[in-house]
Amino acid sequence: MKTLTSILVPIHPEGYRFIAIFAVLDALFFFVSPVLGWIGLVLTLWCAWFFRDPARTTPQREGLVISPADGVVNMITRATLPPELGMGLEERTRVSVFMNVFNCHVNRMPTAGIVKKSLYRTGQFLNADLDKASDANERHSMLVSLSDGSDMVVTQIAGLVARRILNHANEGDSFIAGERFGLIRFGSRLDIYLPEGAEPLVAVGQTAIAGETVIADLASEEPERDVNTQ
């Protein structure tokens, strides 16, 4: 029963129509060829798995920054904030979490706060694993104001096969840590620009779980970890 429960997780509403399309095509494939039908069935099951939306237990202590995405921490670097936010050439520590097509793509707010800006920008669809994807690719950036007066930037970045960013966070909306705010379809990346002075508590190559993995602790004095650790 526990194994069955772990498989039959809720599906994000955005996925229902895609699963239906895959299922219809699969039925046609079976009509043409049993081999194609079985391939179509595997793809249909993958589509359902891609749009899964499992429950997560998010630590709520003030100061914790939680991963907004499932995936691998593929970059930790200093970078300027997205220019559409109008914050000049200020640099912050940026933690990037890359999501492949097998990761859960539901995005969650990394910390409690109020969305001050929520802006979409068109762009290219380069491989989201590349550093230049932060500047070149289609993206949706949010400036989130925290209770201590600092702020954080969270950016959804479309990838090579991703073709739509969903973001339902409006300016003025309040969120708690771990609350869902959007989704990106089929491979992408999340960038978290930490408040100045915050040190990441993850390392490059580390697997992150949305709503659970602690990216940083704004109240901690623990030194920065070696970002080159694999």
Among 109, 136, 129, residue whose Cα is nearest residue 192: 109
Mean pLDDT of each 10-residue bin along the chain, 230 residues long: 51 71 76 77 73 83 92 94 90 93 87 95 76 83 92 89 80 94 82 92 94 90 54
* Residue 145 annotated as catalytic: no
Side chain identity, residue 30? F
18 backbone dihedrals φ, ψ, rounded to 5°: -70, -40
Q: Contact, 155 vs 140, CB < 8 A?
A: yes
Euclidean distance between CA atoms 116 and 228, whole angstroms: 33
Does an H or E element contain 191, and which? strand 188-193
Q: Quote the pLDDT of residue 20.
A: 79
What CATH number should be reported for the domain whose range is 64-217? 2.70.70.10
* Long-range contacts from 128-136, C-beta under 8 angstroms, 24+ separation: 128/98, 128/99, 128/157, 128/158, 128/159, 128/160, 128/162, 128/187, 128/188, 128/189, 129/74, 129/98, 129/159, 129/189, 131/75, 131/77, 133/157, 133/159, 133/189, 134/79, 134/82, 134/94, 134/96, 134/191
Q: Which of 96, 118, 141, 188 is an active site residue? A: 188
Q: Rounded to whole angstroms, how far apart are CA atoms 180 and 167?
A: 9
Query: Do residues 100 and 135 make contact, with C-beta atoms less than 8 angstroms apart?
Result: no
pLDDT of residue 166: 87
Q: What is the pLDDT of residue 51?
A: 73
Instruction: Tell me what pLDDT residue 5 has.
Output: 45
CB of 190 closer than 8 Å to CB of 69: yes
Cite the DSSP H helix spans in the chain.
2-7, 16-32, 34-50, 133-136
Total residue count of the chain as it appears in this document: 230
User: Model pTM?
Assistant: 0.79
Every domain of the chain and the residues it spans:
2-50, 64-217
Q: What does the pLDDT read at residue 115? A: 96
